[in-house]
Chain A
């Protein structure tokens, strides 16, 4: 019987956690009947927990889950990176496609990740939460949830549509499409905006394997840095029997994290991800892994005092720049936030750009999009409602249900149906009844509140074009009833800009 190697165990674990992660992404869809919360991995992410709670100065019990990966490295070192992290798995899986399996010597740049970690935590102290730019788990959620899945959907749908149009079992194929849309995406392909930079970022990270294996994990990942710092006191570690070791150097060649010192005996604990490859490759079985009292020899501190101060200063300057450069979004922006969003300054401290809300909205009303600069430098990729591409479904409160940091608060359906995202206003220079003296009322037809917030006033109007008087139903808005759901703006039959649009006037945000 073939022996089950440690490599098999590790790969099984990696695949298991990746699939688990992927399942949490798939769960974020209408109809929302999750048996795994989509936020699961993000709740377990200590970098999310630290950055969001420090910046936002609040405590959420659910983030206690992240303590698991504060305690875990105290015992098992960076095994999270080698055995669990789904992004690490994606990097391992793709590096055979793009890398030359180089290890290289990047010891000099290795502390960058710690430097970044310190900057993100310092920024959080100053009230700026920016760790989402490099935290691997939100990056992976965003990438899979928004564009990897939709790209897959696009390919599958295009092929199936092809079958339908040339008449190859069209009814069977349409049935397949209908059942697929039950748990992937809505019936028609959603449109996502501003995907270019996130897509580029994702593939750049994967492409870093071209420089060296696990280059991202070794030099840049702030979550890896956090795991690494704690790993220094880890109990489980690599041990070498120096009597058996022939100093052949195979282990060091094999180590994709470059964690083995040139003497082949000592290990950089903050780098070793416990993949156990060195143990397998050792011809004399000199290497073992096990529990031990902390090594007597102090491993070198990653970050010098000078770098630490440098990181702090960078963060201070960064926070200052952010504070100065952000245009006051509460005054200048017309961007509409999802229903139940907390007040803007607090929202920016909480939103980690996982885009869970954007994905689940795409399977429902489809109004939420990733912003670019609509809400200022600080608001890049935050969710904003763009009503020409979708509307906020009256019976939907899913964005607030799945926000992992409660940047969008969970609302009861009844509450959500009453909270105001903004107010619709008519643009009379565009609106058909006002401009062409013709009846339209598509907006009135779709208005979901009862009694309707859009009503009509019948007036006899002289139409100068035809030279006739006629009765025209002129629509108007009752701002007391309008909740700014934007279905009027979406369904307005005008091409291009609608004759009605939702503005931030009257917007209701949640104070925290």
Chain B
């Protein structure tokens, strides 16, 4: 895929909405287009966490393997979502498996490259950190609601 169309796709992605052009240009330089077949892993728990994905089409699932039960899906991500932030937080290791539940097209960013840029260019770093903080807060809230098991039988507890 040409850099021009990558730049266009990234510019229109909700996560990068409103970013200045020179920031977008840098991010585009760290990006490439990827396609995952159904059941292919984007990354697995324990892998070096250096990749960050913008989902363009399809669906991926965040999974954990539970001994005795097998893989269990915890969350799904679809068009317009992002996945993978292990590159942002030491020790830069993925903590869950992320698998394509169907044919999935995404744009992948080199997280290490982006992190180094954020360290030196604080404007971009601050903007992206605010967006990641909002994303992490949203996922934390969703996880807390999941933990409540709100549909469970309260009379049994």
- Do A and B originate from a single complex? no
